[in-house]
Amino acid sequence: MSSELLIWAALCLPLLIAAGIAVTGAFSNVREGVTLVGSTVLFGVVIALATKVAGGEVPQLYVGQAAPGLDFAFKLEPLGALFALVASGLWIVNSFYSIGYMRGNRERNQTRFYICFAIAIFGAMGVAMSANLFTLFVFYEVLTLSTYPLVAHKGDAAAKRGGRIYLLTLLGTSIGLFLMAIMWTWVLAGQNLDFVQGGLLAGRNLDPAVASALLILFAFGIGKAALMPFHFWLPNAMVAPTPVSALLHAVAVVKAGVFTVMKVSIYIFGEDLLNATPGREFVLGVACFTIIVASLVAMTKDNLKARLAYSTIAQLSYITLGAMLATQAGFMGGALQIAAHAVGKMTLFMCAGAIYVATGLTNISDMRGLGRKMPLVFIAFFIATLSIIGIPPMAGAWAKYELMQGAIDRGTGFVPYVLIISSLLNIAYLLPIPILALMPVPGTPEPRPFKRPGGAPFFTVAAPVVTAALCVILFFLVGPLADFLSPAFENPASPAFAGGQP
Amino acid sequence: MIDLLLDTAPRWALLHAPALLVMAPLFLAPLLAILPSGRLSWLISIFATLFALFCALILVGQVQASPVGVVGYDVGNWPMPIGIVLRVDALNSMILLLVASIGVLATIFSWPTVKAEIPERKHPLFYSAFLVCFAGLCGVAITGDAFNLFVFLEISSISTYVLVALGAGRDRRALPAAFNYLIMGTLGASFYIIGVGFLYSATGTLNIADIASKLPDLAGNRSVEAGFAFIIVGLGLKAAVWPLHQWLPNAYSYSPSFVTMFLSATATKVALYALIRFLFTVFRPEFAFEQATFTYLLMPLGLAAMITCSFQAVFQTDVRRTLAYSSVAQVGYMILGVSVGTVAGVSAGLFHLLNHAMIKGALFMAVAGVVLTFQGTTIRDFAGLGRTAPWTMTGFAIAALSLIGVPLTAGFQSKLQLGYALFDQGMWWAVVFVVFSSFLAVIYMGRILEAIFFRPPINPRKSRKEAPILLLVPLWILALANIYFGITTELPLGLARDAAAAAFGLEAF
């Protein structure tokens, strides 16, 4: 198939799936079939696109013009292909999980839930493939709006409050800061918003103060990247059903945010301009601050999902940090972290959901000794924890390694220490959960029997096991992955990138 | 499509389109007043507005085909300095198209609401007043004579006072609202006519093009500057430029639903057109006093409108009042665009003018549907309507998102254009105000949307949940237009850019 057709397919399939779900809503088995088949086909399409990208091709699609200078255009480069792969691939796993979870919990309005989910994936695909900031922004907002009903799914007061904070923060930052940054870029770049290898704004002799202001607008305007102080929507979004937290708030939505940060850093600013921008240091500092403070806050949370949410905030800032290091190794580390953190954090969320479905427990302190009854779930949790911390042979190790490399290349004094402290903090707030569950200290009371007879539904256990296995597999696949990604970070101004592969 | 129209239209229509556009509704109006049946008068009104739309389309085509971009028409064959001329260029053909198409949609949708809100024996009179108002608005937009503009302004205003006062059947507060509007509107018109008097004393002519050609020689003339000041205030009052907007919230809240919808989408827009005409065609941005007006008067007022009225909108409990305050805020956006003083700025302002007409038209239509079926307009009355009246409320929601400026809607595009125009002149700080005001829009529309879709219904009325089909069709036409023009802006942005160029007397953008 031609690459244009493939891009069309990747965009239209989620919408077709949404329509299919709407039509077959009355027959829940058929509806689930539509989701599963559709998501598998979508993944196939994305793989086909990624193969083309790996072969050096640049799939492009021009849809049309919204207004002079504002095009709906798509272009897939390695970074976007990676994001699309992660989002669509994990959607399949998550669909199985959703079925188990939603049925296990007897949630209402399941059809609306699956429709919004498919539309959210549509948004994520659009973000991944967009060829300019305008297209990206449109899909970024599609993603925001389509996930609002998912966050407020339960419809009680807490869910509505969480949903409202979610929507207002994301819309507020994106319209208030991100859109301003885009308009400013449009004027600075001479009525152009395209993503250009080497940086759209590079070579335009920007005043460092202007470039700094623009960068800061972007960094905070992309609220989905959850840089402090615009992080609070993420813990509030945890009122959503767990599959939403798992796919959207560990993979699609938040990764769309940091992915946008990477795109802006690489293709709007470019490595050289970024290096010449003093504001970069400031954003780097904020990212470091976010990493440390979010980890510290995570320690204080006894609610498992809240702790995972703060952990997500910290881990996301790794990617922003990687982008702000503005070195090849930094970009590579950020990109690897997108994939590694996605599988790791998704596993953790799905485990949390499985525990909730089976026992109704949400607090970590109640989970001691639970590992005896749910061994698979907690082993998966353990593996994912190691990956998040960054211990080999888990995928997270490479991301941390590259980031450390980038930080040392950069020569910034404090960043390596921040990374080390953060890893230690990760150990402190994540590792005790599986350890205490699997090997409770003597004298821990036996956990109460399952609330749901038969324990966690099969799918809710199988899905995290699969993603945990992915954490390990990705560790060994990093060579090809790095080769695949490296063209994205090539700087046309400087000699080809070498030595970044670990 | 317009080419086809130009080819097939009869010769008399092509020749006399400017005059017929105004005269057809104006002469049909007295006929309606003596008709016995309301339904018949409604049908004739539809016919009249459709005919006006037909003429407006012909004019758009003729202006585009014309080598100079102007279609002139001497009324009664009296040539320019003596007689009244109708003069259509890209700017007012756009306004005429807007007024006529909104007029058609509004008239079609009016019947169910008029039947419910106006006593039956007044139906023919009501439609008669409406046609006069419609003709007056078209007249303001089409005329090329400054005094004639005043006449049409008064024709439309006086009939508007009547229309607003007819809301008394539903809510007695319509009467003070209409009276208030009458006083303010008359003040505005008086200011305008005084201003025209000053100009006449200085130039000796009333023709707009003629005045424009004589003004550059009169630099520093006190009476020209005084005339300018009077005209700005007078038209500003009509266009509800902050702080001259006090008449608007009450007039919109208490008048019949149909009138609210029609006025919100057209009346202030036409006054704004007149303002733009005077700011850019009659006077020129090069004049020192006008540059000062932009910087020290219009821009601060536009910004103040955007912020204060958005804040006021947040604290309203009545949906119609929220929308009314929001209208004043949106006029602020247009004024802001105009006050940039560049072609890009004016085109952004005009583009928003078009989009806002579609947005507010759709919103007030949906509110009219709720008034019809649930007889309430407070936010409480809207609770849970997302379930009981999904079609009406989805249309409302689309327009609300457009008002906020969510991507893929028309409102987003107009904010984008406005932002570009501002950044282009280095006025990034004004963009901050635009953005902040949009954020307030998220809050005040979000309150309503949340009530609609997430609160349980408190209004247990079971019969007639959805608005009637006559109301739904125009509502959805406007709602879909909001989405369509949010994806591809070729048509409205093209019109707005040509119009802005015409305002500056340039050939094309």
CA distance B355 to chain A (A): 14
Mean pLDDT of chain B: 85
pLDDT, position A491? 66
Structural domain contains residue A497: no
Q: Report if residue B320 sits inside a domain.
A: yes
Quick one: tokens of A11?
């965009």
Q: Is pLDDT at B193 greater than 90 in this prediction?
A: yes
What is this structure's pTM? 0.81
Q: For residue range A197-247, list pLDDT tens digits in order.
A: 878 888 777 888 888 888 888 988 888 888 888 888 888 888 888 888 887
B446 touches chain A (CB under 8 A): yes
Residue type, B76: G
- In a mutational test of the A interface, the residue from B307, B417, B427, B435 whose CB has the highest number of chain A CBs within 10 Å is B435
Task: State which residues form the domain around A33.
Answer: 3-489
Structure tokens at B505: 């007397």
Evaluate whether B73 touches B14 at the Cβ level (below 8 Å): no
| Residue B75 neighbours by CB distance under 10 Å | 17
Asked, for residue A501, whether it belongs to a domain, the answer is no
Section B26-30 average pLDDT: 88
State the pLDDT at residue A497.
Answer: 45
Residue A393 domain-assigned (yes or no): yes
Q: Does residue A500 form part of some domain?
A: no
Domains in chain B, number: 1
**Overall average pLDDT of the A173-198 stretch:** 85
Nearest Cα residue to B55 out of B111, B126, B104 = B104
Task: Compute the count of residue pairs across chains A and B with CB atoms less than 8 Å apart.
Answer: 75
DSSP A166-177: HHHHHHHHIIII
Q: What pLDDT digit, counting tens, does each position of A119-149 carry?
A: 999 999 999 989 888 899 989 988 888 888 8
CB within 8 Å: B436 and A138:
no
- Report whether the peptide linkage leading into residue B119 is cis, meaning its omega lies within 30 degrees of zero: no
Q: Is residue B100 part of a domain?
A: no
pLDDT at position A245: 82
Domain span including residue B313: 297-509
Distance of residue B423 Cα from the nearest chain A Cα, in angstroms: 6
Is A399 part of a structural domain of the chain? yes
Give the burial class of B46: count Cβ atoms within 10 A of its Cβ; 0-12 exposed, 13-18 middle, 19 or more buried.
middle
Q: Which amino acid is at A415?
A: V
B281-324, pLDDT tens digit by residue? 888 777 767 777 777 888 889 899 989 999 989 898 888 889 99
Nearest CB neighbour to A187, from listed B424, B438, B488: B424
CB spacing of A172 vs B436 below 8 angstroms: no
> Apex CA B248: angle with CA B246 and CA B254, to 5°?
120
Q: What percentage of chain A has pLDDT greater than the value 90?
A: 3
Our count of domains for chain A comes to: 1
Collect all residues with Cβ–Cβ distance below 8 Å to A163 and sequence separation of at least 6. Answer: A148, A149, A151, A152, A239
- Quickly state the pLDDT bin for A500 (edges 50, 70, 90): very low
Residues in chain B within 8 Å Cβ distance of A145:
401, 406
Mean pLDDT of chain A: 84
- Residues A70-100 pLDDT 10s: 888 888 888 888 889 888 888 888 888 888 8
Q: Does residue B153 surpass a pLDDT of 60? A: yes
Note whether residue A498 is domain-resident. no
Q: Using the CB atoms, write b or e for A300-314: b if 16+ within 10 Å.
A: ebeebbbbbbbbbbb
**Closest CA of chain B from A184, distance in Å:** 6
Closest CB to A141 among B406, B413, B454 = B406
A169: confidence class by pLDDT, cuts 50, 70, 90? confident
pLDDT digits (tens, 9 = 90+) for A293-316: 999 998 888 888 888 889 989 888
Report the pLDDT value the prediction gives residue A499, as an integer from 0 to 100: 44
CB-side exposure of B373: number of CA atoms within 13 Å? Answer: 25
DSSP assigned state of A60: E
∠ Cα B237 B401 A61 (to 5°): 120
Looking at chain B from residue 412 to 441, which residues have their Cβ under 8 Å from any Cβ of chain A?
413, 415-417, 419-420, 423-424, 428, 431-432, 435-436, 438-439
Q: Is the pLDDT of residue B463 over 60?
A: no
Distance between CA A219 and CA B161 in Å, rounded?
Answer: 52
Q: Which is nearest to B173 in space by CA: B380, B22, B387, B320?
A: B320
